[in-house]
Amino acid sequence: MLIKRLTLGATLLASMTIASGAFAQQQFITIGTGGVTGVYYPTGGAICRLVNANRAETGIRCAVESTGGSVYNTRTIRQGELNFGVVQSDVQAAAVAGSGSFEADGAYPGLRSLFSIHPEPLHVMARRDSGITSVADFPGHRVNIANPGSGTRVLAETLLSYYGVDVSALSLAAELSSAEQAAALCDGNIEATVWAAGLPNGSSQEATSTCDVAILPLAGEEIDRLLAENSAYAAATIPGGMYAGNPDDIPSWGPRATIVTDASTPDDVVYAVVSAVFENFEEFKRLHPAFERLDVAEMIASGLTAELHPGAVRYYQERGWM
């Protein structure tokens, strides 16, 4: 009986040792995204879903974190509190250079790219009863310019500067997140909002289907000059009929969403994330309407100012893409 107990104890000890070893091999990674009504949050969710499907093989468990957006994600990766982040291409470029929102931070030479995802057209939404038909009409009105730390805030400030509109000229410069802006617009607390996201996105759908909102065209001399002077941006079109009450194509512009990490992230972890997406590419494209038209060649080249991470390079070379 004593022998059996000892054997049982030894078996339990062995089991605990094996379990402990397995647990030690687990790696937990987080992806910083944005507000839950935007496209960044489901983008992080789609990536984590595919990474987690392979966790028995890789030992990597992925979690999504809703955050303040691109600028926040970049800073938090640099501080070592996030492993990966979804970041606008213009924010990525500014972080590498230490310019714009990152002037006080200094250059971030350790930022690394994995791939870009969808284009992010700017949605400038205005209540039709506000009298706002152009960004030039913003002075004297209540306008949401997005929360500090978001990529949209950078775009809003850029947009206003090219129209010669100072934030101080607004009767209210609201700093609402994507989750708050649609309700504020339809409740009349603001008259217009500036928002960059993939197509379609929940916040714009909520606003246009709840109240009478127009998505303003962004074209003309000001936008031509903006695009000529900012290579991180490109012209884009919001298809007619995508949003309620907006039947015609709407010219716009914007950056691309990109996935970034720090140079210190192990190559095998980055390789696992990249391979999870591209080995299941058709499934990935079905996980959100913004992914439907994704093209591999564009994803591994467009909007990537930061150096590609070696783990990503290894995978792309194995596939013959580089």
- Enumerate domains of the chain plus CATH numbers: 27-118+256-318 (3.40.190.10), 122-254 (3.40.190.10)
For the chain, the average pLDDT equals 91
The percentage of residues in the chain with a pLDDT greater than 90, rounded to a whole number, is 80
Position 11 pLDDT exceeds 70: no
Position 20 pLDDT exceeds 70: no
pLDDT of residue 38: 84
pLDDT of residue 2: 29
pLDDT of residue 3: 25
Position 76 pLDDT exceeds 90: yes
For residue 56, give the amino acid letter: A
Q: How far apart are the first and last CA of the chain?
A: 65
Position 28 pLDDT exceeds 90: yes
b/e 6-35 (16+ beta carbons within 10 angstroms → b): eeeeeeeeeeeeeeeeeeeeebebbbbbbb
Task: State mean pLDDT over 300-304.
Answer: 88
Task: State mean pLDDT over 103-131.
Answer: 96
pLDDT of residue 37: 83
Position 108 pLDDT exceeds 80: yes
The percentage of residues in the chain with a pLDDT greater than 70, rounded to a whole number, is 93
pLDDT of residue 106: 98
pLDDT band at 17 (very low <50, low <70, confident <90, very high): very low
Position 120 pLDDT exceeds 60: yes
Are 276 and 51 a contacting pair, CB within 8 Å? yes
Higher-pLDDT residue of 221 and 21 is 221
Task: State mean pLDDT over 202-230.
Answer: 95
In angstroms, the CA 41 to CA 67 distance is 9
pLDDT of residue 268: 97
Position 242 pLDDT exceeds 50: yes
pLDDT of residue 16: 38
Task: State mean pLDDT over 61-73.
Answer: 96
Torsion angle of the four alpha carbons 82, 234, 120, 299, in this order, in degrees rounded to the nearest 10? -60
pLDDT of residue 21: 42
Which residue carries 């591999």 as its tokens? Answer: 296
Task: State mean pLDDT over 114-123.
Answer: 93
pLDDT of residue 24: 37
